């Protein structure tokens, strides 16, 4: 019993679920009322309702959002473990100070722009700027963790000594007063690109994700996946893959995904015969891939669209094929493993009826389809999530019954859940914005990109290798969004400058930044899965790397051949996608030792299949012909051996 309690405590700590322990009494009502007001402010800015005939200028709007959601983060997210069950007096002080300071900056937004306060400002706004910088740093520590906090602090202070920095790190130096003015009142830092994305686009999608969760969408998609895949061999693993892909797309949080779905899927996988290490690795990989899966992809896809200055639908369409290929690779591997080890599906009593399940929640699928339609065909990036959320709520009111029906209590839960998520995002992006600002103020971001190009010379593979290692290392200490934003500034221009496709380059950064979640020594997804599976973390991390190997390869393929992300002629796209799918199938067969239409195979066949997969993925017509030839030879040899054995 004590071990179970200890494991639960570790999971709670990893998810920062301790914050929810403070959502009682006055904190609950402040979060509800103030968070609800913030949601209305964001909607008003999107739909231009302007009930008072007053339109906020951009920086006034962003600081108004900060004045609402940043103070909430001090009430919801504890500054230390000892405060997880109560809000100490200093958190209330931070709440009031943050609220007053951000409101002051919002009120003076027009003067800030007209009089150039980011360069020269009176004493009062300068003091307000210093305060907002301090509270933003503390907020990112609480919401993003100590590792991200340290990185943000280093970059926040970086412009203080860039005039003395060596080589390409040299840049424009600022005094302490100039620094806080630039960070707080310029358009490149706290209210820079990350905050603009959150205020203009991201909040709507976060509300849609919360609406899906509080109306029971999570349970529906888990049941739907069970009804679809539960009876097949190794069914629980396939259910885990499908459900985690859905959850991860909405939340964008790998750890949250592992804990939420893994508590159900990992024990079920173990029960039908999957070893604990294998079950934990499957959940780790599936949860990590969720943040790469459209239509939502967490927060990072919206940031990518802003950096590339393209509609969100363009990023979503480009990301769909690599994400689907990754999940197909996982499904094929768990199916082959189940075939080799004769694993059955779920118990019949655990499998819901497909038609009954569909009838109970078809409108969840409808809302996702409507969201995709509005994004891709109608190009309603700003309005689509709100319309999709409204459709979902109306359908829940009409078609669900009893306690499952959308009610006033559900509405309150929706507001609270949305307010918590938005305050977390605002806290992280306000801090991360200061990284962006420092690189912009000093000019070091551009210099870093030029330095990378000079080091790599004409060797594109060296540049990609350096980019992959940099993305991977930064992914260990940053959230996905923070890692992407940082690298989009310093690495993205270098890759694009080398002649690579812009969207492929940014997806390359995202993929490699994500891989640290399943790769030792950090492997945070594996850590969370290991606690649930009661298995060795390192073993799960190593197994996750093997199961997710295709994700190490895909970024190099689509950055060198953008046809895989649907950018090119239809002939190239069809050939590239087809060969990638065949290669994934061959890799799965080779790793797990099972070939369809043949059965269990030994390394005399497995090794050539893996070589054939590599040939199909390698650019060039002759390598693909060699790969197909190897596959045919493997089948011919296997069938001849079967005939000999039968004779």
For 394, the token pair is 């109306």
Cα(239)–Cα(214) distance, integer angstroms:
21
| DSSP 8-state class, residue 55 | P
CB 312 within 8 A of CB 375: yes
Please give the pLDDT value at position 541. 93
pLDDT above 90 (res 252)? no
| DSSP 8-state class, residue 299 | T
Please give the pLDDT value at position 13. 57
Cα(448)–Cα(489) distance, integer angstroms:
9
pLDDT tens-place string over residues 561-583 = 999 999 989 999 999 999 999 99
Please give the pLDDT value at position 616. 93
pLDDT tens-place string over residues 325-334 = 999 999 999 9
pLDDT tens-place string over residues 379-430 = 888 999 999 999 999 999 998 887 778 999 999 999 999 999 999 999 999 9
pLDDT tens-place string over residues 18-61 = 345 788 899 999 999 999 999 999 999 899 887 766 667 788 99
Task: Give the DSSP per-residue string, 341-376.
Answer: TT-----GGGSPPHHHHHHHHHHHHHHHHHHHHHHH
Burial class (CB in 10 A: 0-12, 13-18, 19+), 402: exposed
For 15, the token pair is 């998810």
Determine the average pLDDT of the residues in 478-492: 83
pLDDT above 80 (res 11)? no
Phi-psi region of 536 (alpha: psi -120 to 50; beta: other; left: phi over 0): beta
- pLDDT band at residue 508 under the 50/70/90 scheme: very high
Please give the pLDDT value at position 227. 93
Please give the pLDDT value at position 7. 52
- pLDDT band at residue 256 under the 50/70/90 scheme: confident
Q: What is the mean pLDDT of the chain?
A: 89
Instruction: Give backbone dihedrals phi and psi of 11, rounded to 5 degrees, phi first.
Output: -65, -45
Burial class (CB in 10 A: 0-12, 13-18, 19+), 422: buried
Cα(41)–Cα(66) distance, integer angstroms:
11
Determine the average pLDDT of the residues in 491-516: 91
Instruction: Give backbone dihedrals phi and psi of 116, rounded to 5 degrees, phi first.
Output: 60, 50
pLDDT tens-place string over residues 60-116 = 999 999 999 999 999 999 998 888 888 999 999 999 999 999 999 999 998 998 999
Instruction: Give backbone dihedrals phi and psi of 511, rounded to 5 degrees, phi first.
Output: -60, -45
Cα(314)–Cα(506) distance, integer angstroms:
13
CA angle 365, 244, 250 (to 5 degrees): 60
């Amino acid at each position: 019993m004590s071990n179970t309690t200890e494991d639960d405590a570790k999971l709670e700590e990893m998810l920062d679920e301790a914050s929810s322990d403070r959502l009682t009494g006055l904190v609950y009502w402040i979060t509800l009322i103030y968070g609800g007001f913030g949601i209305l402010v964001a909607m008003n800015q999107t739909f231009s309702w302007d009930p008072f005939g007053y339109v906020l200028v951009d920086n006034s709007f962003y600081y108004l959002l900060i004045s609402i959601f940043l103070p909430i983060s001090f009430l919801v997210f504890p500054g230390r473990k000892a405060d997880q069950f109560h809000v100490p007096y200093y958190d209330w002080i931070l709440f009031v100070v943050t609220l007053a300071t951000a409101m002051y900056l919002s009120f003076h937004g027009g003067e800030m722009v007209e009089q150039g306060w980011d360069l020269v400002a009176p004493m009062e706004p300068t003091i307000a700027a210093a305060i907002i910088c301090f509270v933003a740093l503390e907020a990112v520590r609480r919401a993003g963790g100590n590792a991200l906090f340290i990185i943000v602090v280093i970059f926040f202070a970086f412009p203080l000594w860039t005039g003395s920095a060596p080589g390409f790190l040299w840049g424009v130096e600022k005094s302490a007063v100039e620094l806080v003015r630039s960070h707080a009142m310029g358009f490149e830092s706290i209210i820079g690109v990350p905050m603009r994305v959150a205020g203009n686009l991201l909040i709507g999608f976060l509300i849609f994700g919360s609406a899906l969760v509080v109306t029971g969408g999570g349970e529906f998609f888990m049941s739907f996946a069970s009804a679809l895949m539960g009876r097949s061999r190794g069914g629980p693993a396939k259910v885990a893959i499908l459900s985690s892909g859905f959850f991860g797309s909405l939340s964008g949080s790998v750890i949250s995904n592992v804990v939420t779905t893994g508590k159900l899927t990992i024990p079920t996988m173990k029960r039908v015969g999957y070893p604990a290490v294998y079950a934990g690795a499957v959940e780790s990989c599936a949860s990590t891939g969720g943040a790469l899966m459209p239509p939502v992809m967490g927060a990072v896809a919206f940031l990518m669209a802003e950096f590339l200055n393209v509609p969100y639908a363009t990023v979503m369409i480009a990301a769909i094929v690599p994400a689907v290929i990754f999940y197909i690779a996982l499904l094929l591997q768990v199916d082959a493993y189940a075939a080799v080890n004769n694993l059955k599906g779920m118990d019949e009593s655990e499998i819901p009826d497909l038609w009954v399940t569909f009838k109970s929640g078809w409108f969840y699928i409808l809302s996702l389809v409507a969201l995709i339609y509005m994004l891709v065909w109608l190009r309603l990036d700003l309005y689509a999530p709100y319309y999709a959320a409204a459709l979902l709520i109306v359908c829940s009111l009409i078609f669900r019954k009893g306690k499952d029906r959308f009610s006033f209590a559900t509405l309150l839960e929706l507001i609270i859940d949305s307010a918590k998520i938005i305050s977390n995002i605002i806290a992280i992006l306000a801090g991360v914005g200061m990284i962006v600002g420092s690189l912009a103020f000093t000019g070091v971001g551009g210099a870093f990109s030029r330095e990378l190009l000079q080091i790599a010379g004409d060797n594109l593979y060296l540049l990609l290798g350096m980019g992959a290692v940099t993305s991977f290392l930064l992914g260990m200490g940053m959230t996905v969004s923070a890692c992407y934003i940082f690298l989009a500034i310093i690495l993205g221009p270098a890759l694009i400058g080398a002649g690579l496709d812009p969207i492929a380059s940014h997806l390359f950064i995202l993929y490699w930044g994500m891989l640290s979640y399943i790769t030792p020594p950090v492997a945070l997804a594996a850590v969370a899965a290991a606690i649930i599976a009661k298995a060795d973390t390192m073993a799960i991390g190593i197994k996750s790397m093997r199961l997710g190997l295709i994700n190490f390869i895909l970024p190099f393929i689509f950055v060198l051949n953008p046809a895989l992300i649907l950018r090119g002629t239809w002939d190239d796209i069809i050939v590239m996608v087809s060969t990638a799918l065949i290669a994934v199938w061959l890799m799965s067969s080779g790793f797990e030792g099972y070939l369809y239409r043949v059965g269990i195979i030994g390394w005399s066949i497995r090794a050539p299949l893996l070589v054939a997969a590599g040939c199909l993925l390698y650019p060039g017509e002759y390598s693909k012909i060699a790969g197909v030839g190897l596959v045919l030879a493997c089948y011919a040899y296997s069938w001849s051996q079967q005939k000999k054995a039968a004779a």
